[in-house]
Structure 1
Amino acid sequence: MSTLGGAVIAAAGLGSRLGHGLPKCMVEVGGRTILSRLIEEVERQTDRIHVVVGYREELIIQHCALHHRNVVLVRNPDFRTTQTIHSYRLGARGLPGPALFIDGDCLIAPGALGSFVEAARGHRSLVGLTPASSDHAVFAAVREGDRGTEVVGFDRATPEAQEWASVLITPADVLEGHENFVYEALAEHLPLPAATIELAEVDTTADLERAHVRAAQWWPAG
């Protein structure tokens, strides 16, 4: 099933835990912004990319006008009082079929997103997982069976080997009726097919330090 109708990058948040005073997607890692690296990976999978902006949106608008004129910018004026799921729903408007949803603070290893999209073929939804390492992980309990890897639960308190990677392919209606966290909306549809994706999510200063190390491995020329 999962021929992508497009992609939504959520980049509206305050990024308060990182504390740089700018959207997390505009932080540079390895000499380039997280957003540029992310867009370049996503555009290998689809030419319909919606970037949802809010906090200091002018920085992202100017950056995209200079470097990524192919993306559509979607405003979330309620970014201070809403969660990422609201940005996802705004961004998904006008996209047909299943969409790729991803947070704008994710650095994805070269080629990893293509493998994830390929793994989604034949599934209505596919949840992205990554080895648990971030400071504010949402742990994912999984099981292996005849249908492959499935997520059977999410929990912030009980450590697991893997965490929710803030990457998802699904029809937008799966996200309807919720205003809190994306994983809480997904929890109502469990079990869900899952696949591991190699990435680094930048939420805190420690996450950023780890991301610099990963970026040096993934893009050694800088």
Structure 2
Amino acid sequence: MQAVEHAVIAAAGLGSRLGHGLPKCMLELGGQTLLSRLIGTLEEHVDRIHVVVGYREELIINLCSKLHRRVVIVRNPDYRTTNTVQSMALGAQGLEGKTLFLDGDLIIAPDSMREFIGKAGTTGILAAIAPSLSENPVNVDLDQGETSQGEKLIKSFTREPGRKFEWANVVAGPARMLDNATGYVYEKLEESIPLNAAVLDLREIDTAADLEIAREFVKSIDSSR
């Protein structure tokens, strides 16, 4: 199989549910923006990072020009009428090889990311799942068994509650895997079911309640360093 070479971070959305008037990736937790934390976690593992911007793009562009000069900025001028999957596909244009796609509103434990990227190098497509903690999760139904590498198998995505794991908005696979998708990322991934999955230690921030959970998660990460 092929090692992960690139990462595409989708950071173009409005973040309207949170209501802070900022791209969610620009929220600061523990003295760093979410975006800086993601970039810092990824840059030791991939050769190239693309960040897709739209809403208040100047904030992200200024941050990267000061702190992350190697990052490539990709503009999505249609961010108001497109969603994450289109931003990710746009961000992957020009890339070849295995690519990690992820949302910009995530806090990911560095050790867990390292392990996930290592596993992604052994399979064609690897989706991330996490304990179902978000307020409005897309949950997953898992096969009872595991792959020979110890990965789990997703047999369906569901909005129904009561599942142990949720879709974590992170997936590794071919750079062109999201081309021509029109719905949500997980809807595109349904074409590949049964789908290899691995647990990723992260928190997603969509709502004020998610933000409070993420604050505590950041404290635990930073205190363990």
| TM-score when normalising by structure 2 | 0.95
Gapped runs of 5+ residues in structure 1?
none
Tell me the residue number matched to 1:34: 34
Is the CA contact 1:2–1:125 (under 8 Å) kept in the aligned structure 2? no
Encode CA deviations 1:29-88: one digit per residue, 9 max, x unaligned: 111100000000010211200000000000000000011001000000010011100011
| 2:189 is aligned with 1:186 | yes
Write the letter of the residue equivalent to 1:177: N
Tell me the residue number matched to 2:43: 43
What is the SS of the residue equivalent to 1:111? Answer: helix
Gapped runs of 5+ residues in structure 2?
none
Is the CA contact 1:127–1:193 (under 8 Å) kept in the aligned structure 2? yes
Tell me the residue number matched to 1:13: 13
Is the CA contact 1:99–1:169 (under 8 Å) kept in the aligned structure 2? yes
Q: What percentage of residue pairs aligned between the two structures are identical?
A: 49
Is the CA contact 1:7–1:48 (under 8 Å) kept in the aligned structure 2? yes
CA–CA separation in structure 2 for the residues paired with 1:155 and 1:21: 30
| TM-score when normalising by structure 1 | 0.96
Tell me the residue number matched to 2:104: 104
Give the number of equivalent residue pairs.
222
Alignment of 1:1-222 (within 5 A): 1-143=1-143, 144-147=145-148, 148-220=151-223
Measured after TM superposition, the shift of residue 157 of structure 1 is 2.0
What is the SS of the residue equivalent to 2:180? Answer: coil
Measured after TM superposition, the shift of residue 114 of structure 1 is 0.7
Q: Runs of at least 4 residues of structure 1 off by over 3 A?
A: 145-148
CA–CA separation in structure 2 for the residues paired with 1:122 and 1:61: 34
CA–CA separation in structure 1 for the residues paired with 2:205 and 2:26: 11
Is the CA contact 1:5–1:95 (under 8 Å) kept in the aligned structure 2? no
Write the letter of the residue equivalent to 2:47: D
CA–CA separation in structure 2 for the residues paired with 1:37 and 1:115: 17
Measured after TM superposition, the shift of residue 146 of structure 1 is 4.4
CA–CA separation in structure 2 for the residues paired with 1:201 and 1:188: 24
CA–CA separation in structure 1 for the residues paired with 2:224 and 2:113: 21
Is the CA contact 2:29–2:218 (under 8 Å) kept in the aligned structure 1? yes
CA–CA separation in structure 2 for the residues paired with 1:190 and 1:125: 10
CA–CA separation in structure 2 for the residues paired with 1:122 and 1:217: 30
